[in-house]
Structure 1
Amino acid sequence: MTITSAFTSENVGPATPSEPSRAAAFFAARLEFQTDVSDVRAGLLEATPGFVLIDTRSRVAWEQGHIPGAVHLPTAEIMARAGELLDPATPVVTYCWGPGCNGSTRAALALALAGYSVKEMIGGVEYWVREGLPLRTREGDVVADADPLTVPVAGPSPATAGAKPATAGAKPATAGAKPATAGAKPATAGAKLTSAAVGAGLISLAGAEGPACGC
């Protein structure tokens, strides 16, 4: 197998007999220091998970929605608070927003330097939501429909099963229609939401203090 590097225009690949062993070491290291949403979920369902899940994001992000069972420890507070929240004998798993955020990587590094056994949950809270797993919000736990791009989906969701397709030639929304009423009630705890709705609400949050990432 020969692959051309986009950066050097040189062929890269198993040019020497040692390449397969180097690749094996690389992928073994990834499995040693990373885990995924499915494995974390399975562990949290055990009577004794054997690890502590850490949300490394800001307070406002945590309050808007976090994984049930997680401990809130923002990256910037690890050096000051890890000792009071974590048992050095218990492994920890970090997560942040998703693939576009490296907050959990930086948190994992800080925890490793502090002497903790640590893994990073790839995918972050974004893929937790996209896989249809519960998220704890200010209003209670919510669950999004699973995204078929991330997990197998067996048939239509209960919310859409039997729903009528849009009528061809249907009239568009009336111009000047009233906007949603201010102060409308939040989603009911435990309600089914779409992945897009939950994800948009999580990722687009920004207030007077700026973006909510903080990780």
Structure 2
Amino acid sequence: MTEKSLVAAIPAAASPAALAHFEASFAYETDCWDVHDALAGGKPDFVLLDVRGTEKYAAGHVPGALDLAHRKIIGSKLAEFPEDTLFVVYCAGPHCNGAARAAVRLARLGRPVKLMAGGITGWLDEGFTLATGPN
């Protein structure tokens, strides 16, 4: 008898459970390609927030993103946006939890939010360029 790999040692979820899980993930995340496509179309239906901090934002950010560090997300900073504005947040990449922290803050404020999976790392991996300079 052969021993199962660490991958197969825990059985995969039943297909209905896997379907529900993966379909639900799209309510929480989007990817760099879809963000780029929406921004390139000129009429994004969301506000993109770079939540890493002003210094990192100035060094390189997704074109069209606003600079708002996750620690600075408070109601008064969002007052200019209608309550139903969808915010998409990103940080450095999969090794960083700043985007998740920002998403928590936005959700606590009752704001719709999605995380851009991959962050800056994912953006660059797709071959997209960064903008530099202040907001």
Q: 1:130 aligns with which of 119, 122, 125?
A: 125
- Structure with higher Rg: it is 1
Following superposition of structure 1 onto structure 2, how do residues 63-212 of structure 1 map, counting pairs within 5 Å? 63-79=58-74, 81-138=76-133
Q: How does 1:27-46 map to 2 (within 5 A)?
A: 27-46=22-41
Q: Could you say if the C-alpha distance between residues 85 and 78 of structure 1 is closer, same or farther in structure 2, counting changes exceeding 3 Å?
A: farther
Q: Percent identity?
A: 37
Q: CA deviation at 1:62?
A: 0.7
- CA distance in 2 between counterparts of 1:126 and 1:4 reads 30
Say which structure is richer in helix.
2
Report the RMSD for the aligned CA atoms in angstroms: 2.3
| Equivalent in the alignment of 1:21 | 16
TM-score normalised per structure 2: 0.85
Which letter does structure 1 place at the counterpart of 2:97?
N
**Equivalent residues, number:** 131
Q: Offset of 1:86 from its aligned partner?
A: 3.2
Give CA-to-partner distance per residue, 1:47-69, whole Å, 9 cap, x none.
32101100001111011111110
CA distance, structure 2, for counterparts of residue 87 and residue 4 of structure 1: 50
Aligned-partner residue type, residue 12 of structure 1: I
Q: Select the structure with the greater relative contact order (CA < 8 A; seq sep ≥ 6).
A: 2
Partner Cα distance (2:75, 2:111) in 1: 14
User: Alpha-carbon deviations, 1:97-133, whole Å to 9, x = none?
Assistant: 0111011011111111111111100110112122221
Does structure 1 conserve the Cα–Cα contact (< 8 Å) formed by 2:52 and 2:70? yes
Distance 1:61 1:97, change over 3 A: same
Match of 2:79, as an amino acid?
Answer: E
Contact 1:62 1:72 in 2 (8 A): yes
Alpha-carbon offset, residue 87 of structure 1: 2.6
Change (3 A) 1:85 1:97: farther
> One-letter code of the match for 1:90?
T
Q: Say which SS state the counterpart of residue 135 (structure 1) adopts.
A: coil
Structure 2 regions of 5+ residues with no counterpart? none
Does the aligned pair in 1 maintain the 2:75–2:109 contact within 8 Å? no
